[in-house]
Amino acid sequence: MTVTIKLETALEEQLRQRAAATGRSTSEVVRAALQAYLAHGETGPSRSAFELGAELFGRHRGPASLARDRKRTLADTWAERQARRG
């Protein structure tokens, strides 16, 4: 079956880039995207919280014991601010 679709210029360019990057034809990329959409709906495949935030983990530094010592850390920070005020 042949289907014709109209794409905005930006979307068409993204499609062409994805196809070129993966070494597939634009038809193959559209077919795979349509199969994924039909299998999972608009929300896409369900992903775990770890998968959703994987690129963020480990990017920020801070005390490793922050969760365990949060009350003491907060009290120390508060005391430092009060000391600076005079």
Q: What is the pLDDT along the chain (86 residues), one digit of tens a residue?
A: 898 999 999 999 999 999 999 999 999 999 999 998 888 777 766 778 888 887 777 766 776 776 788 888 889 999 999 999 87
Structure tokens, 47: 């992903």
Structure tokens, 14: 């993204």
pLDDT of residue 58: 73
Residue boundaries of the structural domains of the chain: 9-85
The three-class DSSP label of residue 59 is coil
> Which whole-number Å values give the CA distances from 86 to 47, 48, 66, 77, in the listed order?
51, 48, 27, 15
Quick check: 19 and 25 in contact, CB under 8 A? yes
Structure tokens, 77: 């920070």
